[in-house]
Amino acid sequence: MTAPASPRLLLVTGLSGAGKSTVLKVLEDLGWEVVDNLPLSLLEPLIEAPAPRSEANRPIAVGIDSRSRGFKPSLLVKRIKQLREADGRAIETLFLDCAGAELERRFSETRRRHPLAEDRPATDGIAREREMMEPVRRWAEHVVDTTNYSSNDLQQEIRHRFADAGGDEPALNILSFGYSRGLPRHADLVFDMRYLRNPHWDSKLRPGTGLDADVSAYIAADPAYEATVSRIEALLLALLPRYRAEGKSYVTIAFGCTGGRHRSVHVAERVARTLRAAGHTPTVGHRNLDSAPQDGLEGKPPPASPAPGGKK
């Protein structure tokens, strides 16, 4: 009897701050088994551990970087070679690179310390890590430079490279965004949610987001909400099989409002739930969820007209 083929194994590594967490999240959404910060000594036991029959061919993504216990680039390359030669296992490496100036900006914005520069400037840690990781970069089959990538750009790149183009459906990415900060790149379908009433103008709801129950309830109470959003969902459910028939490998569906924090976020989450219930597996991203409010650009709505016979 022929032994079953080993599942695909992808080692995800690279420079700190280059986007490893984003990549692993996308791979998990695509159906990969994901393990992050695995000590190098546990790599082989993980590979050899038997998987349930239903997941025997499920691909595995392992995050390994300079923070992983026992990490040595030369040892990692040696172990990959040994595993490949032992049983012909399909092992690939994805290396995430990024320019030093951009990494400095990211660490500065997030106020995180570089893992190799706890008591020194981030520039020292970045330079040290780049030198340390160079053997792995040279060895990697896939190198992605994230210098000019937004989080959404990186998600799209990973979907394009690692989604199964021969699968049953296109790889779906649902994105919320704020028009005040520009249209998203690579969006295939864009829906404008600015026709719905805006929680920004309620002082109690303004600090919240479309992920909060009270904000969602406020948006859903708009008289136009259910009829329009349900039609958008019906349209998407009709379009996705056509995209699949045409061989489209991935689709990005974007929902926008003025600031990208309330209406677009809520609708994106609702549509994602509807598509999941129909058997699809979308990834959801909120581009401007943490951005400063910009809804003032939309203009405050006029006060509601008093009811007939009511006081002025």
pLDDT tens-digit readout, 197-238: 999 999 999 999 999 999 999 999 999 999 999 999 999 999
Is 134's pLDDT higher than 70? yes
Residue 277 CA from chain centroid, whole number = 20
What is the pLDDT, as a whole number, of residue 225? 98
Kindly compute the dihedral angle of the four CA atoms of residues 224, 230, 231, 235, in this order, to the nearest 10 degrees. Answer: 150
pLDDT tens-digit series, residues 58-76: 888 998 887 777 677 777 7
**Strand extents, DSSP E, the chain:** 9-14, 33-36, 60-63, 91-97, 142-145, 171-178, 189-192, 250-257, 283-286
Please tell me the number of Cα atoms within 13 Å of 264 on its side-chain side.
Answer: 29
Cβ(4)–Cβ(35) below 8 Å? no
CA–CA separation, 77 vs 75, rounded Å? 5
Q: Which residue, among 86, 119, 127, 120, has the nearest Cα to 103 in the 3D structure?
A: 127
pLDDT tens-digit series, residues 287-302: 988 776 665 555 566 6
* Single-letter amino acid, residue 236: L
- DSSP SS3 for 255: strand
Q: How confident is the model at residue 31 (pLDDT cuts 50, 70, 90)?
A: confident
Q: How confident is the model at residue 164 (pLDDT cuts 50, 70, 90)?
A: low
Q: Which residue, among 237, 312, 247, has the nearest Cα to 282 in the 3D structure?
A: 237
Mean pLDDT calculated for residue range 184-189? 86
Is 116's pLDDT higher than 80? no
Mean pLDDT calculated for residue range 168-184? 85
Is 153's pLDDT higher than 90? no
φ and ψ of 222, to 5 deg: -60, 130
